[in-house]
């Protein structure tokens, strides 16, 4: 079976198509959301999701999070004695989701559609596909998150054409997509976004407000204490969805620091972030060649859109009441699952033809001359951003120097007129006959498909010499031998056994809450945790499950009683 996966900055989840609808697949803890967090314990065992997050609260130097923001880069994360790339960390999360799906569906899962931010560039998309492969999945399609959400919202189900703007504010990225549904065709007109704007940034605002209010210098705090402050800020932010005033309380050393924030105060502090949303919205409308009056609907997706200040800002800016009827955390994965059902031509779902766009301009570097000097190079666009894909475009260029023997075609991605400011994703070299500059014509053809695969063909017109390559991001490309070695390494590393996950998670949660608690609460946690540990050593599976649930109930009741909403 083909499943859909939303590999998120903060949380990830999987879904399948069953009985005529998209069904969220619960993880091993029985929850829909798996935090995109990886930790490595003292024994070198890999922890994933909520278990990794609880361990990370206790040992933040052994935890990695927000690694989606660095996909496609050379950044590495050192956890204990081990070092990982962002795609390897993502592969752990994907492998966990794959195992949960296999257990839930009672069959081996080997294929998935994975969603990415619409504004992910070529390198980031390829890194996501590699992460899927490292997790043992065939990635049959990379689908843009806003497009998937539009499918989940049933855009066009009324039978009439609809022009929509989908605003996707997740944990780490902000995407804007303008699309239209007409006669079973969902056509994307334009995408824009900011890969450095998300819910995590709105949490950091509260973190900074709290530290400033308590007159604490962040540089004076260790990593573990900073993690506690951030955790409290996240809970405070989530509480604004239910009430206009929210509180933060953090124990630092022997002192308890408390601050209270009003929604209006918080919104004022977030004005800079809110204004960063305006530019991509205006850019998407401009590229789609429409105005706000042409829109039938604005749809909000992504967990961060639960914040009232996000919803009110969008309404004030656009004058349109935004829709958020579908769970913002699950709409992307539901759309990915529905897309998978369409791909398999499931008879229980109406097929929708999806047309997407190239999110960035693709071009090359050229030089021009006048009678006295040559320029330093300029950018020649070949496929403009927001061109509907699949697409093929050609440009003819000429030799730049006398007696030139080779032409180097740099394959660039980006919007700057200065070639060096754009992303170099590959190159093709062809031999040309010697002669005066401008004599030899070279035809360059870019072909870009629905899976963001770019084929470049370079042909020397006079000789017919032709080179055709699939751009594989040469800078970060690895050989088959290296890929196999990485796969074997990830498979070799011990991942926490699925059947032990709940026990490990509850004990880590108890340990974290014991450190945060005081007085009688600390004693109650200690007593319940020790009772559970004794039962784990001597009890039956039924007795262990019972004691674990008793400990978990206690922890959740204490957490609710503290006034801090539970994070999921």
Strands 37-40 and 63-65, how do they pair?
A: antiparallel
Mean pLDDT of the chain: 88
Residue 488 lies in a domain: no
Query: Which of the residue ranges 64-68, 276-280, 519-523 would you say has the lowest mean pLDDT?
Result: 519-523
Q: Which of 342, 357, 372 is the last residue in one of the domains?
A: 357
Of residues 128 and 153, which shows the higher confidence score? Answer: 128
Based on the fold, state whether residues 336 and 400 are members of the same structural domain: no
Q: Which of 357, 391, 426 is the last residue in one of the domains?
A: 357
Q: What is the pLDDT of residue 496?
A: 65
DSSP state of 422: S
Residue 254 lies in a domain: no
Q: Which alpha helices (DSSP H) does 59-193 contain, by range? A: 86-105, 122-134, 145-152
Q: Which of 324, 357, 390 is the last residue in one of the domains?
A: 357
Q: How far apart are CA 123 and CA 446, in angstroms?
A: 17
Percent share of the chain, pLDDT over 90:
57
Q: CB–CB of 323/298 below 8 Å?
A: yes
Average pLDDT over residues 221-249: 91
Residue 266 lies in a domain: no
CATH number of the CATH domain containing 410:
2.60.34.10
Cα maximum dimension of the chain: 90
Mapping DSSP to helix (H, G, I), strand (E, B) and coil, where does residue 565 land?
A: coil
Based on the fold, state whether residues 342 and 376 are members of the same structural domain: no
Q: CB–CB of 411/456 below 8 Å?
A: yes
Percent share of the chain, pLDDT over 70:
91
Residue 374 pLDDT > 60, yes or no? no
Of 158, 189, 191, 149, nearest in space to 338 by CA: 149
Would you state the structure tokens that stand for residue 276, as one six-digit string?
């960063």
**pLDDT digits over 181-206, tens only?**
877 778 888 999 898 899 999 999 99
Of 300, 281, 284, 221, nearest in space to 257 by CA: 221
Find the length of the chain. 568
Q: How far apart are CA 178 and CA 334, in angstroms?
A: 19
Based on the fold, state whether residues 433 and 549 are members of the same structural domain: no
Based on the fold, state whether residues 449 and 504 are members of the same structural domain: no
Enumerate residues 6+ apart whose C-beta is below 8 A from 65: 10, 35, 36, 37, 38, 53, 56
- Return left, alpha or beta for 375; rule: phi > 0 is left, psi -120 to 50 is alpha, else beta: beta
Residue with token string 């919202």: 153
Residue 300 lies in a domain: yes
Based on the fold, state whether residues 557 and 419 are members of the same structural domain: no
CATH number of the CATH domain containing 325:
3.30.420.40
- pLDDT bucket at 279, cuts 50 / 70 / 90: very high
Q: Report in angstroms the alpha-carbon separations of 306 from 90, 196, 202, 206, 239.
A: 25, 19, 12, 16, 10
Based on the fold, state whether residues 93 and 144 are members of the same structural domain: yes
Based on the fold, state whether residues 82 and 162 are members of the same structural domain: yes
Q: How far apart are CA 92 and CA 7, in angstroms?
A: 11
**Total domains, the chain:** 3
Based on the fold, state whether residues 401 and 277 are members of the same structural domain: no
**pLDDT digits over 297-344, tens only?**
999 998 889 898 999 999 999 999 999 888 888 999 999 999 888 887
Of 145, 235, 143, 147, nearest in space to 188 by CA: 147
Q: What is the pLDDT of residue 52?
A: 95
Q: How far apart are CA 8 and CA 299, in angstroms?
A: 19
Based on the fold, state whether residues 282 and 368 are members of the same structural domain: no
Average pLDDT over residues 167-173: 90
- pLDDT bucket at 563, cuts 50 / 70 / 90: very low
Phi, psi of 383 (to 5 degrees): -115, 115
Based on the fold, state whether residues 41 and 142 are members of the same structural domain: yes
Based on the fold, state whether residues 530 and 415 are members of the same structural domain: no
Q: What is the pLDDT of residue 480?
A: 60
Residue 28 lies in a domain: yes
Residue 90 lies in a domain: yes
Based on the fold, state whether residues 112 and 183 are members of the same structural domain: yes
Mapping DSSP to helix (H, G, I), strand (E, B) and coil, where does residue 228 land?
A: helix
- pLDDT bucket at 376, cuts 50 / 70 / 90: low
Residue 542 lies in a domain: yes
Q: CB–CB of 13/25 below 8 Å?
A: yes
Q: CB–CB of 38/92 below 8 Å?
A: yes
Of residues 162 and 77, which shows the higher confidence score? Answer: 77
Q: How many CB atoms lie within 10 A of CB 29?
A: 16
Residue 102 lies in a domain: yes
Residue with token string 């949380």: 11
- What element of type H or E holds 340? helix 331-343
- pLDDT bucket at 565, cuts 50 / 70 / 90: very low
Domain of 547 in residue numbering reads as: 498-561
- pLDDT bucket at 347, cuts 50 / 70 / 90: low
């Amino acid at each position: 079976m083909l499943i859909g996966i939303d590999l998120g900055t903060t949380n990830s989840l999987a879904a399948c198509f069953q009985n005529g609808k998209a069904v969220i697949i619960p993880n091993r803890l029985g929850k829909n959301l798996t935090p995109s967090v990886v930790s490595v314990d003292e024994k070198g065992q890999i922890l994933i999701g909520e278990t990794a997050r609880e361990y990370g609260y206790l040992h933040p130097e052994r935890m990695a999070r927000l690694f989606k923001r660095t996909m496609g880069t050379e950044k590495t994360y050192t956890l204990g004695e081990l070092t990982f790339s962002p795609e390897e960390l993502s592969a752990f999360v994907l492998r966990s989701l794959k195992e949960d799906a296999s257990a839930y569906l009672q069959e081996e899962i080997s294929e998935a559609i994975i969603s990415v931010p619409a504004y992910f560039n070529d390198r980031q998309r390829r890194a996501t596909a590699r992460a899927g492969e490292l997790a043992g999945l065939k990635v049959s399609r990379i689908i843009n998150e806003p497009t998937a959400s539009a499918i989940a919202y049933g855009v066009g189900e009324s039978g009439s054409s609809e022009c929509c703007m989908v605003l996707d504010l997740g944990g780490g990225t902000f995407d804007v997509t303008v699309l239209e549904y007409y006669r079973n065709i969902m056509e994307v007109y334009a995408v824009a976004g900011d890969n450095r704007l998300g819910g995590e940034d709105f949490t950091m605002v509260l973190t900074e407000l709290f530290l400033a209010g308590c007159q604490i210098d962040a540089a004076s705090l260790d990593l573990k204490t900073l993690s506690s402050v951030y955790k409290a800020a996240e809970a405070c932010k989530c509480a604004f969805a239910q009430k206009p005033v929210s509180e933060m309380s953090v124990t630092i050393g022997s002192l308890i620091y408390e601050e209270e924030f009003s929604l209006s105060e918080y919104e004022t502090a977030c004005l800079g972030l809110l204004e960063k949303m305006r530019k991509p919205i205006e850019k998407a409308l401009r590229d789609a060649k429409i105005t706000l009056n042409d829109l039938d609907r604005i749809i909000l997706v992504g967990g961060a859109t639960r914040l009232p200040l996000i919803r009110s800002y969008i309404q004030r800016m656009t004058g349109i009441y935004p829709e958020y009827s579908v769970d913002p955390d699950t709409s992307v994965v539901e759309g990915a699952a529905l897309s998978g059902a369409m791909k398999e031509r499931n008879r229980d779902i109406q097929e929708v033809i999806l047309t997407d766009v190239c999110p960035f301009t693709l071009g090359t570097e050229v030089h021009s001359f006048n009678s006295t000097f040559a320029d330093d190079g300029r950018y020649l666009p070949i496929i403009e951003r927001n061109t509907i894909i699949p697409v093929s475009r050609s440009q003819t260029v000429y030799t730049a120097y006398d007696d030139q023997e080779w032409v180097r075609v740099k394959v660039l991605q980006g919007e700057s007129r200065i070639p060096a400011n754009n992303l170099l994703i590959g190159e093709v070299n062809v031999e040309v006959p010697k002669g005066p500059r401008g004599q030899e014509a070279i035809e360059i053809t870019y072909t870009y498909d629905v899976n963001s695969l770019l084929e470049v063909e370079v042909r020397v017109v006079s000789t017919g010499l032709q080179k055709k390559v699939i751009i594989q991001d040469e800078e970060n490309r690895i050989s088959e031998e290296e890929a196999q070695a990485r796969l074997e390494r990830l498979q070799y590393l011990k991942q926490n056994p699925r059947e032990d996950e709940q026990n490990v998670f509850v004990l880590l949660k108890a340990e974290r809450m014991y450190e945060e608690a005081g007085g009688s609460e600390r004693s109650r946690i200690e007593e319940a945790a020790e009772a559970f540990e004794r039962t784990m050593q001597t009890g039956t599976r039924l007795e262990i499950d019972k004691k674990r649930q008793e400990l978990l109930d206690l922890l959740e009741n204490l957490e609710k009683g503290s006034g801090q909403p539970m994070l999921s």
